[in-house]
């Protein structure tokens, strides 16, 4: 009788590991994470040979098989952690780096402890991050970029703690723009202001067939400061080229933008292009700027100074101090690229320059200075013509966060942070998002609040019942409205704008009226967290009223109440959670606080 070869019950899992390794080697981290998860699934049953008939394994010693699995498992754990880190999924990355660090007795993956510390810092676990990075520094035993970075990260942790201790003295707020500008799952970044229009770059689904090797494609979009809608910027597109990160001349007639595509080595190479506004109001086909671009090197992230005299940009061309440097060139006469100098540029990466002429401030992002996250925003004062700059300073919290903060832009006529934007992944697990920076006046002493029973007005689309605005001229009774929020969010939903506009009508008819904006949260989370969340919700309404509708800030006060005053019960009589009640508690109320 002919004997059949033995087929291991672990064969199918081994195939998961091999498939994951192939995806990992090809930098397809999403797919590698999925297959490594299948391989490491502790509850998953190994599939029989009947399900995988094409690969035959010779009969062998079971102990050797288990030893191989153990080695493969440790490699899988580490590369799964690496995959999640590359995907910016720090929550899952932390879990698998921790497992690698615990099981890495042979030190096969010496960088696991380093990345574990970095991820802990990104997840806000500063004490644990400090322990991990300190242990890495003691045991690594090499002097290289990682040991230097670990020392820098330890300095960063001290800086973070000092910045967060200043929370009570902050006089401005960082607010994520609404979901129309920041749709979930897409990168939205690099704001550029031209008059009343804000241009930005967004990574969205490639429905037009561009970039056939990838499901997402970068392009330029725009929105008006006084509108929440977005649309494509209308820049002509070209197959295989992605485009974005733009700057517009002061007269609004010429745009410098970044285009990039993969070269023969499958590496993205970026170049600067220009587009002209035509007589019929459309943008011309972008043309490469041959005087600025250098073949084989990246030239990107343009910024035109408000006087139209200079163009700043980032490049990794020869002649710099490190990776990417800040460069500049005059826009009139001979375009010669000049390095911004060692006062600004380091051996690391400096990117995304922005020059604010009224304050003579240059803002840029760097990953190589003491800061809070990966990329932080820094500010220096000086003059482009003279090339003399003050020592760059970190812009601190809350402009910077423990994640990446980059692509600063300001339309402030005198003050840098009066009307400004930035890009950050501080509240995202995948992508950069657009944030607005607004000054917030300190709240006055608490006012006496009088309310009347609300009149319910149903909103059947996405929100619970919303109370209507009672209009009186002058108001004989206080005015109250309520705006609701999604769980753990402070972004205004579309229905909120209609209600806020109704409040604007009330305030216009009663110019002596003052209003308290009261923020609330449901009972999930700590008291401290809910106070901060309710503050952000109130600030979102405040910023819309002041920045978009130009209501005098003196007529508004902000109060954060947290979970103190639930409008509805959050548990049923039998002790079950009541999501409908929680939804009604995630709100902002507007109450009359006085008459001037």
If you average pLDDT over each of 102-106, 174-178, 427-431, which comes out highest?
174-178
Question: 436-452, pLDDT tens digit by residue?
Answer: 997 655 444 443 333 43
Residue 467 pLDDT more than 90?
no
Quick check: 477 and 513 in contact, CB under 8 A?
Answer: no
Beta-sheet strand order (sheet of 325-330): 299-304, 310-315, 325-330, 338-339
> What pLDDT, on the 0 to 100 scale, is given for residue 473?
36
Beta-sheet strand order (sheet of 287-288): 242-248, 254-262, 268-276, 287-288
Q: What is the largest CA-CA distance in the chain?
A: 103
Q: How confident is the model at residue 4 (pLDDT cuts 50, 70, 90)?
A: very low
Mean pLDDT confidence for 103-109: 84
If you average pLDDT over each of 364-373, 481-490, 545-554, which comes out highest?
364-373
Q: Tell me which CATH code domain 11-164 carries.
A: 1.25.40.10
% of the chain at pLDDT higher than 90? 54
> What pLDDT, on the 0 to 100 scale, is given for residue 341?
96
Mean pLDDT confidence for 456-476: 37
Q: Report the C-alpha gap between 179 and 92 in whole angstroms.
A: 25
> What pLDDT, on the 0 to 100 scale, is given for residue 213?
53
Residue 206 pLDDT more than 90?
no
Question: 576-590, pLDDT tens digit by residue?
Answer: 888 888 899 999 999
SS3 for 139-158 is: HCCCCCHHHHHHHHHHHHHH
> Which among 447, 455, 505, 522 is positioned nearest to 482, based on CA atoms?
455
**∠ Cα 50 54 60 (to 5°):** 80
Sign of the CA dihedral 173, 178, 184, 186? negative
Buried b (16+ CB within 10 A) or exposed e, 283-319: beebeebeebbeeeebbbbbbbbeeeebbbbbbbbee
Quick check: 86 and 116 in contact, CB under 8 A?
Answer: no
Q: Considering only residues 265 and 218, tell me which one the structure prediction assigns the higher pLDDT.
A: 218
Q: Report the C-alpha gap between 221 and 213 in whole angstroms.
A: 22
Question: 492-534, pLDDT tens digit by residue?
Answer: 887 788 889 889 988 988 888 899 999 999 988 888 888 999 9
Q: Tell me which CATH code domain 456-595 carries.
A: 3.30.1330.60
- Find the DSSP H helices in 44-109: 62-86, 90-103
Residue 10 phi, psi dihedral angles, 5° rounding: -90, 0
**3-class DSSP state of 188:** strand
Q: Report the C-alpha gap between 393 and 49 in whole angstroms.
A: 62
DSSP codes, 221-260? EEEETT---EEE------TT-EEEEEEE-TTSSEEEEEEE
Residue 211 pLDDT more than 70?
no
Mean pLDDT confidence for 191-205: 94
Long-range contacts of 463-468 (CB under 8 A, 24+ apart): 463/493, 463/495, 464/580, 464/583, 464/584, 466/495, 466/499, 468/502
Other CB atoms within 10 Å distance of the CB of residue 345: 24
Quick check: 406 and 365 in contact, CB under 8 A?
Answer: yes
Q: Report the C-alpha gap between 116 and 97 in whole angstroms.
A: 5
Question: Hunting for tokens 């100098």 — which residue is that?
Answer: 341
Instruction: Given CATH 3.40.250.10, say whether it is the number of domain 169-439.
Output: no
Question: 355-376, pLDDT tens digit by residue?
Answer: 999 999 999 999 999 999 889 9
Q: Report the C-alpha gap between 305 and 248 in whole angstroms.
A: 9
Q: Considering only residues 207 and 370, tell me which one the structure prediction assigns the higher pLDDT.
A: 370
Question: 289-334, pLDDT tens digit by residue?
Answer: 999 999 999 999 999 999 999 999 999 999 999 899 999 999 988 7
Per the prediction, the chain carries an average pLDDT of 83
Residue 51 pLDDT more than 50?
no
Q: Is the peptide bond before 591 cis (omega within 30 degrees of 0)?
A: no
* Rg over CA atoms, the chain: 28
Q: The tokens of 299 are what?
A: 């030239």
- Range(s) for CATH 3.30.1330.60 in the chain? 456-595
Q: How confident is the model at residue 350 (pLDDT cuts 50, 70, 90)?
A: very high
Burial degree of 211 (CB within 10 A; 0-12, 13-18, 19+): middle
Quick check: 380 and 345 in contact, CB under 8 A?
Answer: no
11: left (phi over 0), alpha (psi -120 to 50) or beta: alpha
Mean pLDDT confidence for 394-407: 94
Residue 339 phi, psi dihedral angles, 5° rounding: -75, 140
340: left (phi over 0), alpha (psi -120 to 50) or beta: alpha
> What pLDDT, on the 0 to 100 scale, is given for residue 274?
98
**∠ Cα 71 65 59 (to 5°):** 155
Other CB atoms within 10 Å distance of the CB of residue 376: 27
- Range(s) for CATH 1.25.40.10 in the chain? 11-164
Mean pLDDT confidence for 73-80: 94
Q: Considering only residues 507 and 458, tell me which one the structure prediction assigns the higher pLDDT.
A: 507
Q: Is the peptide bond before 398 cis (omega within 30 degrees of 0)?
A: yes
- Range(s) for CATH 2.120.10.30 in the chain? 169-439
Q: How confident is the model at residue 228 (pLDDT cuts 50, 70, 90)?
A: low
Question: 13-29, pLDDT tens digit by residue?
Answer: 568 889 999 999 998 99
Quick check: 425 and 88 in contact, CB under 8 A?
Answer: yes
> What pLDDT, on the 0 to 100 scale, is given for residue 207?
59
> What pLDDT, on the 0 to 100 scale, is given for residue 173?
79
% of the chain at pLDDT higher than 70? 83
> Which among 386, 428, 384, 389 is positioned nearest to 405, based on CA atoms?
428
Residue 215 pLDDT more than 80?
no
């Amino acid at each position: 009788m002919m004997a059949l070869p033995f087929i291991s019950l672990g064969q199918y899992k081994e195939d998961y590991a091999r498939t994951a390794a192939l995806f990992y080697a090809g930098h397809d981290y999403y797919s590698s994470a999925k297959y490594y998860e299948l391989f490491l699934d502790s509850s998953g049953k190994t599939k029989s040979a009947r399900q995988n008939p094409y690969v035959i394994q010779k009969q062998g010693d079971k102990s050797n098989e288990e030893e191989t699995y153990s080695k493969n498992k440790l490699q899988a754990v580490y590369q799964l952690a690496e995959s999640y880190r590359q995907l910016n999924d720090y929550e899952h990355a932390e879990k698998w780096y921790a497992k690698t660090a615990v099981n890495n007795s042979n030190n096969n993956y010496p960088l696991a402890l380093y990345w574990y510390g970095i991820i802990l810092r990104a997840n806000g676990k500063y004490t644990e991050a400090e322990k991990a990075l300190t242990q890495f520094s003691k045991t690594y035993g090499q002097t290289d970029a990682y040991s230097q970075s670990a020392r820098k990260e330890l300095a960063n942790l001290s800086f973070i703690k000092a910045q967060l201790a200043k929370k009570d003295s902050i006089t401005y707020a960082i607010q994520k723009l609404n979901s129309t500008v920041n749709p979930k799952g897409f990168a939205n970044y690099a704001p550029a202001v031209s008059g009343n229009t804000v241009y930005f770059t967004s990574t969205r689904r490639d429905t037009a067939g561009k970039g056939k090797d990838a499901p997402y494609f970068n392009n330029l979009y725009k929105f008006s400061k006084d509108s929440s809608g977005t649309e494509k910027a209308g820049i002509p597109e070209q197959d295989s080229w992605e485009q974005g990160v733009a700057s517009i001349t002061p007269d609004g007639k010429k745009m410098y933008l970044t285009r990039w595509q993969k070269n023969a080595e499958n590496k993205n190479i970026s170049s600067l292009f220009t587009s002209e506004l035509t007589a019929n109001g459309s943008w011309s086909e972008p043309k490469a700027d041959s005087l600025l671009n250098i073949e084989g090197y990246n030239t990107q992230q343009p910024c035109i100074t408000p006087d139209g005299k200079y163009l700043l940009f980032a490049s990794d061309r020869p002649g710099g101090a490190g990776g990417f440097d800040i460069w500049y060139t005059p826009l009139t006469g001979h375009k010669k690229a000049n390095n911004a100098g060692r006062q600004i540029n380091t051996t690391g990466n400096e990117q995304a320059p922005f020059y604010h002429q009224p304050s003579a401030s240059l803002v840029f992002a760097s990953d190589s200075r003491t800061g809070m996250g990966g990329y932080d925003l820094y500010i220096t004062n000086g003059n482009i013509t003279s090339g003399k700059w003050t020592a760059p300073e970190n812009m601190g919290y809350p402009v910077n966060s423990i994640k990446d903060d980059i692509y600063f832009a300001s339309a402030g006529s005198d003050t840098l942070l009066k009307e400004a934007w930035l890009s950050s992944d501080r509240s995202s697990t995948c992508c950069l998002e657009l944030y607005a920076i607004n000054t917030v006046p300190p709240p006055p002493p608490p006012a006496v609040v009088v309310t009347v029973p609300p009149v319910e007005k149903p909103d059947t689309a996405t929100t619970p019942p919303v109370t209507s605005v009672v209009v009186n001229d002058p108001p004989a009774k206080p005015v109250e409205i309520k705006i609701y929020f999604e769980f753990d969010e402070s972004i205004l939903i579309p229905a909120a704008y209609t209600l806020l506009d109704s409040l604007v009508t009330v305030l216009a008819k009663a110019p002596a009226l003052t209003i308290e904006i009261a923020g609330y949260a449901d009972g999930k989370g700590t008291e401290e967290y809910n106070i901060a969340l309710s503050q952000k919700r109130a600030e979102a309404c405040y910023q819309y009223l002041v920045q978009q509708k130009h209501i005098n800030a003196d007529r508004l006060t902000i109060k954060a109440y947290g979970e103190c005053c639930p409008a509805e019960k959050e548990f049923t009589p039998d002790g079950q959670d009541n999501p409908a009640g929680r939804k009604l508690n995630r709100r902002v109320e507007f109450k009359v606080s006085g008459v001037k």
